[in-house]
Amino acid sequence: MATGTATAARTAAPRRRLGWAPYALLAPSLVYLAVFFAMPMVNAFGLAFQGDAGGYSLEPIRRMLDDERFTQALTTTLLLVVVVVPIQFVVAMGMALVVNARLKGTDLWLYIFALPLGVSELAAGIVWFSIFTEQGWLNSLLTQVGVLERPFIFLDYQRPALLLLTIVAAEAWRATSIIMIILVAGLQGIPRDYLEAADVFGATAWQRVRHVILPLLRPSIRVALILRTILAFQAFATVIALAGSAAYVLAGEAYRWYWDIRDPRVAAAYASLILLLSVASTVLFLVLLPTHEEQLT
């Protein structure tokens, strides 16, 4: 900010003339987001409330609610979010603490834990399908060790709870790294003196996490939870890869209504519902985990 007076005199004139510059630089992304983000969002609700002859109607919403799959799709999605987010948080926290413990080869551990960051939903779903399928790796292991005599059917539509757990495993494997990265970045912002002070006073590892790390990490935790929850509400390809048509989720139903039934309005109704749930969950996290400098970060 504080440049010498000579330089200030030289640069003051061009700077004033460049007052429009930041706006010119922002304009392209603003326009783009208006067309490809704000507009479709408005259109999603427009479509969801559009009647057969055009005009306003509750017909698409009614069709969504009346659909025999609706309740299961909604409960499965909510259950998935409620189960997978806490599990992932704990695993990611473990990974982040390991990285932050400065073991030998910190970079290597970080790289390994971050690997799934680049793995797509679909690839992760198929990878875990190869593990859980009847002739898959898990059954191979369990029969060879002697725990099972013959393969157990994990991916069975008659056992929805187990099916959900296999999806949870795939989702946890795929998307824990993003939480881990955010937490590690947050941990690096915690002055090491604080942790050493806790050590000096004889705090156990758990006390350190509970009373020093977690409170200081709250902003990062909040961002990580918000990001992950929104991703979980959109769970789609992992579900199709693992469960096929044996389990329904909201995004999968949106896809089905768009291509199989060819009613984009009901698909848009599902999209709007996912949108509302995501915004609601964000607000919930913001309220439940307030930070000192209350900015939306």
Partner 1 sequence: MTAMAGAGTAARRRRRARALTYLAAVLLSLFVLVPIYFITVTAFTPREVSYDFPKPFIPGTVSAETVRFFADSTGVLAALWRSVVVAAMTLVLSTLLGAPAGYALARFAFRGKAAFRLLILSTRAFPIVILSIPLAVTFITWGISDTTYAVALMHTGLALPFTVLITSSIFVSVPKDLEEAARTLGCTPLGAFVKVVLPLALPGLAAAAIFTFVLSWNEVFAAVILTLRQRTLPALVLAALNTSPLPFRFAAAWFMLAPSLVVIFVIRRYLLGLWGRVAR
Give the footprint of partner 1 on residues 80-109 (CB under 8 A).
91, 94-95, 97-98, 101, 103, 107, 109
Instruction: Pick out residues in 161-190 that bind partner 1 (CB under 8 A).
Output: 173, 177-178, 181-182, 184-186, 188
Sign of the four-CA dihedral 207, 208, 210, 215: positive
Q: Which tokens go with 185?
A: 């970045």
Q: Which tokens go with 283?
A: 């607000």
Q: Which tokens go with 198?
A: 């806790």
Sign of the four-CA dihedral 195, 199, 201, 202: positive
In the complex, the smallest distance separating the C-beta of residue 22 from partner 1, rounded to whole angstroms, is 4
Determine, following the binding rule CB under 8 A, whether residue 254 of this chain makes contact with partner 1. yes
Interface with partner 1: number of residues (CB under 8 A): 111
In the complex, the smallest distance separating the C-beta of residue 117 from partner 1, rounded to whole angstroms, is 6
Q: Which of 2, 14, 158, 287 binds partner 1 (CB under 8 A)?
A: 14
Interhelix angle 59-66/264-288, nearest 10 degrees: 80
| Residue owning tokens 């806490």 | 86
Residue 236: count other Cβ atoms within 10 Å of its Cβ. 17
Residue 240 to residue 254: CA distance in whole angstroms = 13
Residue 185 to residue 178: CA distance in whole angstroms = 11
Q: Which of 78, 127, 162, 190 binds partner 1 (CB under 8 A)?
A: 127
Computed on alpha carbons and rounded to an integer, the radius of gyration of the chain in Å comes to 25
Distance of CA 44 to the CA centre of its chain: 21
Determine, following the binding rule CB under 8 A, whether residue 72 of this chain makes contact with partner 1. no
Q: For partner 1, which stretch binds (CB under 8 A), given 10-18, 66-74, 75-83, 157-165?
A: 10-18
Determine, following the binding rule CB under 8 A, whether residue 239 of this chain makes contact with partner 1. no
In the complex, the smallest distance separating the C-beta of residue 108 from partner 1, rounded to whole angstroms, is 9
Q: Considering beta carbons, is residue 7 or 158 the nearer one to partner 1? A: 7
Q: Which of 65, 112, 147, 284 binds partner 1 (CB under 8 A)?
A: 112
Determine, following the binding rule CB under 8 A, whether residue 71 of this chain makes contact with partner 1. no
Determine, following the binding rule CB under 8 A, whether residue 248 of this chain makes contact with partner 1. no
Q: For partner 1, which stretch binds (CB under 8 A), given 29-37, 81-89, 158-166, 190-198?
A: 29-37
Q: Which of 2, 16, 19, 66 binds partner 1 (CB under 8 A)?
A: 19
Total residue count of the chain as it appears in this document: 297
Is the Cβ–Cβ distance between 228 and 175 less than 8 Å? yes
Q: Which of 143, 152, 190, 212 binds partner 1 (CB under 8 A)?
A: 143
